[in-house]
Structure 1
Amino acid sequence: MQFYHPRKGRISLDQMISEIYSFIEADRNAVYKMVIGTDSQTSHKGTLFVTAIILHRVGKGALFYYSKKRSRPLLDLRYRIYKETEYSLTLMEQLKEKGFLGASLELPVEIHLDVGRKGETRKLIQEVVGWVTAVGYTAKIKPDAYAASAVADRFTK
């Protein structure tokens, strides 16, 4: 899987993890949290999924990366929201498989979901929040789901 840094361009998963560790080492006394969210955009050509990963140095900035996946046009909203959630959780699992967030690094993790109390996605809140919390992460929805609704959304255009 390829990731992108807004200024550095394309990097690998291993490079991203290394940069995140360096960011943390630069200020070991700060409070950090990991935030992951996915958004999608569908056109007649296909659906573009963008997953953002943000390491937030609380009160002192953040570091972020994103990855992109394309598929055939997915017009069913429920299916798209489930795919967005799946991509966010899959990235978290890939990080764990690489040893990220092991015993030496305990970070709170939030999965940001592109659903909210207004609009069609309100019907899906209970399902996707339940899925995320069942696997042990904190779920955030709009308007608090900035990784999906602001950061990832920016790169789907």
Structure 2
Amino acid sequence: MQDRVLYSSFENSKEKDMTFEQVFERILRFMRLNPNGNYKLIIGTDSQVHYDYTSFITGIVIQCEGKGVWACLQKNKIPRKITNLHQKISYETSFSEAVFAMFTQERKDAMYEIVLPYVERGASFTIEGHIDIGSGPRNKTRVFINEMIARIQSMGAEPKIKPEAFVASSYANRYTK
């Protein structure tokens, strides 16, 4: 059975109903403010099971080390409770993959081109995928680590798990309630 996903636009505390194109323009604008910075594009998703649906929040963060961030999120909903842990983690990773796919090579190149003239002076740009799973012995999600890491790597991003996966486990998590 295929789930019907209720997708939404992107938003943050200052703007609602942004298209991905608007999100991308905000990211470029943020990067142009300090083109010699150390940038990380980070994408991560968290979920919360509610009474009759499961909400998924995907965070997009562009971080300039020591200079701040610009961030937004996308709220998605599946109109049923997802109680199977593997399925829930897999959906989280799928929503992150869908956003990663919006960052086409052309868009990534535009981001690289902002910092490229400053690389000799230490500027950088990396891409990370934050996965809301942990490797601790008491963490039930640890059995899915290799699978989810491989999926994020296939998107061209460096995977991070808890405690380093703050976009999924902190930023996105804050909005799943």
Coordinate RMSD, CA, aligned: 1.4
Distance 1:4 1:116 in 2: 28
Match of 1:110 in 2: 128
Query: 1:132 offset after TM fit, Å?
Result: 1.6
**Structure-2-length-normalised TM-score:** 0.83
**Structure-1-length-normalised TM-score:** 0.93
- The question of whether the paired residues in 1 share the 8 Å contact of 2:100 and 2:155 is answered with no
Evaluate the alpha carbon distance shift between residue 19 and residue 134 of structure 1 in structure 2; reply closer, same or farther with a 3 A threshold.
closer
- Out of 83, 98, 102, the position equivalent to 2:91 is 83
Query: 1:21 offset after TM fit, Å?
Result: 0.8
- The question of whether the paired residues in 1 share the 8 Å contact of 2:28 and 2:111 is answered with no
The share of aligned pairs that are identical, in percent, is 30
For 2:159, give the aligned amino acid.
Answer: A
SS in 2 for 1:11: coil
Unaligned 5+ runs, structure 2: 1-7, 113-124
Aligned length: 155
Query: 1:29 offset after TM fit, Å?
Result: 1.3
Distance 1:41 1:84 in 2: 10
- Out of 36, 60, 65, the position equivalent to 1:58 is 65
Q: How does 1:1-157 map to 2 (within 5 A)?
A: 2-71=9-78, 72-96=80-104, 99-102=106-109, 104-106=110-112, 107-118=125-136, 119-157=139-177
